[in-house]
Amino acid sequence: MRRILVVAVALSLVLAACTSKGGGGKGGGEGGKRPATVDGIATAAGTHKEKIDVGTPGHREYLLHIPAKVADGKWKDGKPADRPALVLALHGGLANMNKMESLTGFDRISDDKGFVVAYPDGFMTTWNAGSCCGAAKIGNIDDVGFLSKLIDKLTGAGLADPDRVFVTGFSNGAGMAYKLACEKPGKVAAIGVVEGSLVTKCDPDRPVSAMIFHGTADRSVPFNGGGNRDFNDKRPFPPVSQAVDFWRKLAKLPKPHEDVKALSGNTDCQGTGKGAQGVEVTFCKIQGGTHAWPSEASEMLWRFFDAHPRKG
């Protein structure tokens, strides 16, 4: 009996030692290993459906893509040792976060380059981007507040670098990217606008870098202006040149004149060059382009974002 007791005690000590050694593994968050969650956010490689409380009834949802380079990289105190960049990708009207994920292909670029991507969901498939669009506008939804809280949550949890937060969007989502930069420029280093329009009051206290794509044959948001802003707002969209001029003048930049390498022959991109604090505006005109996400846009946007972190 005594021998059995001694063996049992010895075995328990061995097991305790093994448990202590393994406790820092993935899910433990100790010893430089990745925890299973940070502030309730999943950290494993892949795409996770998450939700966030925005102080209103219910909650808002988003998809979060964590690349293996972050999940399997070095962690310190339960956070990535080197905080990655964050790209917020905002879907167009009558779409959703899943559609934006598949439309842009940002997951593949994220896995290659090591940045985090968040795909927020709008309100009833729309964003309140000012005088557009649909349910979100009619309900006066505080989408700026939602996106600001999402940025704060991800940067506060150490899952993203606050100086490398970039926002891009398509159509209604592009207009929302403009609105976020207009009202919260301190949270955004650069924006990427694809087939969108600046249809909100805009008086930011600092400039942001911007890359703007627009097709010359877009009938939904016409290149030279026109159409209807919303089903209940017959005012025309302003021409894309108006938004380009707004952001470059805000940063005291010249008209775009420097050729920027594009990834397809029908895309003509010109930039202003970098001004104060590294801010730059690049305009890409897509000859014959319609109201669609260009195949080259995601690669070019990441290249632009990576070169324009927030300074000062």
Counting every residue written for the chain, the total comes to 312
The Cα–Cα gap between 105 and 93 comes to: 18
Whole-number Å distance between alpha carbons of 301 and 296 = 9
Reported confidence tier of residue 10, pLDDT bands at 50, 70, 90: very low
**pLDDT band at residue 155 under the 50/70/90 scheme:** very high
Provide the Cα torsion 248, 249, 253, 258; round to 10°.
40
Query: Does CATH place domain 34-306 in 1.10.540.10?
Result: no
Beta bridge partners of 42: 37
Instruction: Name every residue whose Cβ is closer than 8 Å to that of residue 10 and which is 6 or more positions away in sequence.
Output: none
Nearest to 106 by CA among 92, 86, 126, 122: 86
Check whether 146 has a pLDDT greater than 70.
yes
Q: What is the pLDDT of residues 18-73, one digit of tens each?
A: 322 222 334 434 458 999 999 999 999 999 999 999 988 889 999 999 999 999 99
| Residue 140 burial class via C-beta count within 10 angstroms: exposed 0-12, middle 13-18, buried 19 and up | exposed
Domain ranges of the chain: 1-30, 34-306
Q: Residues 267-302: pLDDT tens digits?
A: 999 999 999 899 999 999 999 999 999 999 999 999
